Structure 1
Amino acid sequence: MCTKIRSHCLPLYIHTMSPPCRGASVQVQPHAMAKTKLFPALFSLLLHGGAATLPPPRVPAVTVHGCTPPAARLSAGGEKTVTMVVDVEGALLRSSSSRSLFPYFMLVAVEAGSFLRGLLLLLLYPVISLLAGAGGGDVAVRAMAAVAFCGLRESRFRAGRTVLPRWLLDDVGKEAVDAIVTLTRRRSSPAATATVVWASSMPRVMVEPFLREYMAAAEGGGEVVVAAREMKVVWGFYTGVMEDGGEVAAASPEVRRAMEGVDDVVGFSGGSMDLLRSPLVSFCKEVYVVSHEEKSKWRPLPRRREYPRPLVFHDGRLAFLPTPLAAAAMLVWLPFGAALAATRLAVALALPYRHATLLLAATGQSWRLRGSPPPTPTPPPRRATGERRRGQLYVCNHRTLIDPVYVSIALDRPVRAVSYSLSRVSDLLSPIGATVRLARDRAHDGAAMARLLEAGAHVVVCPEGTTCREPYLLRFSPLFAELADGVVPVALAAEAAAFHGTTAGGWKSMDALCYLANPRMCYTVEFLPAVDASPVREGKAASTELANAVQRRVAEALGYESTMLTRKDKYLMLAGNDGVVRRRGDVGAK
């Protein structure tokens, strides 16, 4: 059967045939498509001007199947070179409409811009929804990109690498990844290769880091080819205007190289006919289009266990995906959240812990205690020499900057916290007093903590050196193992409903206030059995061995995974620096 449709103002003949798999053949109504193009075309003319573009050349006939590429088709011909063109929005993500891309542009608007920019994008959503419903998906994407990007500095834009991958991975369909893995691992000879060309309607800066760093693992570590449009830049700032049409992306040198000399090119799309209207379809012999009904049955990737690459670090303040309804609720909540944060802070500073925790729990700020805290020692009498009993060292994993506060609440006694860096605002607002600052000098830092312990203080140290949101533990610095005869490991878990209390590239002075502005949050504190560190002090064991043993104990208690990643690894990825504070003030890393 042959169906004639209109694509880029030229006729395109697509043969639909019954595939050897479930799914109906694709049917396209040319008259309905032509009717839905009028309003989006007028809006695009107003948004981007009347510059005309030359139509692409006529493309050959393509066979279209209405199902997911079957494993037998992908694994056949292991000696051939194959290229698969994957529509990111249609075939990789479980949500495929232009309206479903709104949360990702909202993340860019809020995380790279401001809440005011997010409000402007939300007010534009009715128009975006109308455009997408009228068949102008590309115009809707352009409108969202204009609001989200206009005026942002190109050199400072990192949301595509630090924020979006965490949410895009949640939207990836397991069936799509399985199909890609089947294709790329089917080779029966070294000469056979399988390349994936990722086609996206979103700007390149939004999807390329995610595809290169996470989906490359699904390809077996091969070359990543991305066919997406660039955002135009003037004087180092994004103008908010995307490149016109998909011809530029399809004609890029890397796409041409991926298509040259291959034996077979297969297209993979779904939900919409966007890939069939793209110039990339001219390279394909067959295109598999997954129906909405079939995509609705797709499963998400189980977190951690089946991600193509582990997601250890990510940034951004929002702890939820900002769909239109969720974004509206967030913006309505902001003034109430600011007032609630100020109230919670005043209660924590003014009242004793045992009274403050009851009032704070009534506002949604709760905590749980697991395990028994160490017994409270009797006040040590002064010895004849005037010496005091040494204090206790508590070793915690690091979730937010208020970890020591909850350890102090659970112990119901004052503690002293040590930190490599802390903003002045956070230090002033601390209910446990001033934080002892470390200098990343082993001798200096060891002496500072030793003085606190000699004075009988209960010292809380986070040897990871920085926070980690995901269920992983970074490498524990072994310095703590050399300071006391015994250490008490403490496992901490933090939950937040709306805002993260940590950031690598944002204003760190707002960390505590952002956490307190959550409508609901909960801390879990678990004290583990004390670990004998005397062999390290006596030179019978290495401090690194003890540090690794404590890390494993905390990881087992939380159900996390231990890693050898460090603070430097985190900041190189999220902020483009090594995380070392080189000047005074609030600019720093934690």
Structure 2
Amino acid sequence: MGSKARVEYEAVEKCRCEGREKDSVVADLDGTLTRGRSSFPYFMLVALEAGSLLRAIVLMMVSPLAWLLYHFVSEGAGIRVLIMVAFGGLRVKDIEAAARAVLPKFYAEDVHPESWRVFSSCSSGRRCVVTANPRIMVDFFCKNHLGADTVFGTDIHVTSSGHATGLLMSPGVLLGAAKRAAVKAEFGDAQPDVGLGDRLSDLPFLTLCKEAYMVPRKSVEAVPMHKLFKPVVFHDGRLVQRPTPLVALVTLVWFPIGLVLSIVRVMVCVNTPLLYVPLMYKLLGIKLSVRGKRPGNIEEKLGLQGQGVLLVCCHRTCLDPVFLSVALGKQVSAVTYSVSRLTEMLSPIPTVRLTRNREKDAAHIKRLLEGGNLVICPEGTTCREPVLLRFSALFAELTDQIVPVAILPRMSMFYGNTVRGYKAFDPFFFLMNPRPHYEVTFLEQLPPHLTHVAGARSAFEVANCIQKMLAATLGFQCTTFTRRDKYRMLTGGDGSVK
């Protein structure tokens, strides 16, 4: 019977897209708009990022039960278990924050090309997503990055104090007849022009559509992120890879090992003379790649007397100046707008806080340059995507001795930067990766004719020039986004971390 039901509708590849601009479309999410049929990774992300490591462990332990219920009892029973464990007791604002800042990146990397071809072709029509997932978990991604007008999903019960109970609102898990009822209520007597699904529980709502297509199970390449309705530029969270059951299990098993390893790495490297740190890196499994012309004595090379060089680099983690100093083979100072007390205490190089007062900061940077080499990250904040945020032009007015440095860390398990988490732990999370890797590329010193004083260039021209040099080296895109844009996006507030 299941096999017969599946052949009632043609594969989505057979659907034509020409002339569908004004058509309406209704599509399922998991397995239809995305390639992955399982929603477990996204429940795990909510459990870990909005909850805790303990909640993630419990979810991992009950996942076999959820799988058995889903496949041998009912889809709804398995999903109820995942919702209860992942959501029960969490603050709604924490769930929403994870849905805004963490989940979109992983959803956007898994969009099905054929389904997206059809869904996006209905550019000015009504686009609806109907899914069994909790609506609070998928609403932001579907509307903001897929361009959906309406999202129907399972609604969770919330207490008066703003906490999710893990229980569901009527009609429960949005499956089968419940999906059909939601679509019927939205369109009334009018029929959606196109329906997209991938499993038997999608058939009830597909029967309402003028045309319906099924998404077959087969391996396909995901849609490039830049082709989505809106790409993901900023995202947060600690996990690098989508936590499928296997990845989640390996990550949770590695976590205590990685934590001990990161503490050992920090303690050993902080107490090792700079000359021997590269050797310690090799012994501790830390890889440092240095490219470009690394000067042995940068002041002598540039013919400077009594003045340091300003090393301008992109900002990927708070460890950028540390690895740059090791790559250079000489201690440098670093300026930052914000750094945790713990990071400041453990930093093997001098770290100086800026005040955001332009005149005071300029005077402070000049004094530091008189004492030696200085590292500055004009972006003002870290960013994970292959983009560079708008540079501050303050540094360009202070010296003409500028050496751009391209920084690129590579992580396999944990990100070494965060917005909503505890930033003091950023260095430890980076060093918890089995084999953390930093690439440092020294570029040529900025020519005199492109500098502020000697070349009579404006500070903004100098900053833009360096930004383009770094972007070209790394293969990144320059943007007009600023630090404040990042925090507004990831916190949903006015730019301050909550």
TM-score by length of 1: 0.78
Residues 353 and 454 (structure 1), Cα distance of their counterparts in 2 relative to 1, 3 Å cut:
closer
1:174 aligns with 2:119: no
1:70 aligns with 2:70: no
Counterpart residue identity of residue 239, structure 2: L
Aligned to 1:75, the other structure's residue is in SS state coil
From 260, 273, 276, the counterpart of 2:200: 273
Which residue number corresponds to residue 119 of structure 1?
57
Aligned to 2:27, the other structure's residue is in SS state strand
Which residue number corresponds to residue 318 of structure 2?
401
Give 1:194 deviation, angstroms.
1.7
- Per-residue CA deviation, residues 425-464 of structure 1 (Å, 9 max, x unaligned), is 111111113x110111211111111111123x21100000
Counterpart residue identity of residue 151, structure 2: V
Aligned to 1:536, the other structure's residue is in SS state coil
1:194 aligns with 2:135: no
Which residue number corresponds to residue 562 of structure 1?
478
CA distance in 2 between counterparts of 1:249 and 1:131 reads 20
Which residue number corresponds to residue 349 of structure 2?
432
Aligned to 1:370, the other structure's residue is in SS state strand
| RMSD (Å), alpha carbons | 2.5
Q: Which structure 2 segments of 5+ residues have no match? A: none
Aligned to 1:207, the other structure's residue is in SS state helix
Which residue number corresponds to residue 508 of structure 1?
423
Counterpart residue identity of residue 427, structure 1: E
Give 1:262 deviation, angstroms.
4.8
CA distance in 2 between counterparts of 1:403 and 1:145 reads 39
Which residue number corresponds to residue 52 of structure 1?
none
Counterpart residue identity of residue 311, structure 2: Y
Give 1:537 deviation, angstroms.
3.0
Q: Which structure 1 segments of 5+ residues have no match? A: 6-25, 30-62, 185-192, 217-222, 381-386, 581-587
Task: Kindly indicate whether the alpha-carbon contact (under 8 Å) linking 2:132 and 2:173 is maintained by their aligned counterparts in 1.
Answer: no
CA distance in 2 between counterparts of 1:513 and 1:563 reads 29
Which residue number corresponds to residue 237 of structure 1?
163
Which residue number corresponds to residue 206 of structure 1?
137
Residues 163 and 394 (structure 1), Cα distance of their counterparts in 2 relative to 1, 3 Å cut:
same
CA distance in 2 between counterparts of 1:263 and 1:201 reads 21
Residues 336 and 284 (structure 1), Cα distance of their counterparts in 2 relative to 1, 3 Å cut:
same
CA distance in 2 between counterparts of 1:488 and 1:337 reads 35
From 98, 101, 110, the counterpart of 2:39: 101
Residues 368 and 77 (structure 1), Cα distance of their counterparts in 2 relative to 1, 3 Å cut:
closer
1:344 aligns with 2:265: yes
Which residue number corresponds to residue 227 of structure 1?
152
1:463 aligns with 2:402: no
Counterpart residue identity of residue 118, structure 1: A
1:328 aligns with 2:231: no
CA distance in 2 between counterparts of 1:239 and 1:577 reads 25
CA distance in 1 between counterparts of 2:25 and 2:283 reads 55
Aligned to 2:402, the other structure's residue is in SS state strand
Counterpart residue identity of residue 83, structure 1: S
Task: Kindly indicate whether the alpha-carbon contact (under 8 Å) linking 1:533 and 1:546 is maintained by their aligned counterparts in 2.
Answer: no
Aligned to 2:200, the other structure's residue is in SS state coil
Which residue number corresponds to residue 545 of structure 1?
461
Residues 245 and 356 (structure 1), Cα distance of their counterparts in 2 relative to 1, 3 Å cut:
closer
CA distance in 1 between counterparts of 2:337 and 2:149 reads 38
From 142, 147, 150, the counterpart of 2:80: 142
CA distance in 1 between counterparts of 2:298 and 2:420 reads 42
Residues 236 and 533 (structure 1), Cα distance of their counterparts in 2 relative to 1, 3 Å cut:
farther
- Per-residue CA deviation, residues 357-384 of structure 1 (Å, 9 max, x unaligned), is 223223321110010123405789xxxx
Q: Whose helix fraction is larger, Structure 1's or Structure 2's?
A: 2
1:85 aligns with 2:26: yes
Which residue number corresponds to residue 368 of structure 2?
452
From 301, 321, 325, the counterpart of 2:223: 301
CA distance in 2 between counterparts of 1:319 and 1:449 reads 35
Give 1:88 deviation, angstroms.
0.8
Give 1:242 deviation, angstroms.
2.4
> Which has the higher Rg, Structure 1 or Structure 2?
1
1:364 aligns with 2:285: yes
Structure 1, 141-150 or 151-160: larger mean CA deviation = 151-160
Give 1:248 deviation, angstroms.
7.2
Residues 451 and 287 (structure 1), Cα distance of their counterparts in 2 relative to 1, 3 Å cut:
same
- Per-residue CA deviation, residues 228-248 of structure 1 (Å, 9 max, x unaligned), is 122211021111122214377
- Percent of aligned pairs sharing the same letter: 37
TM-score by length of 2: 0.92
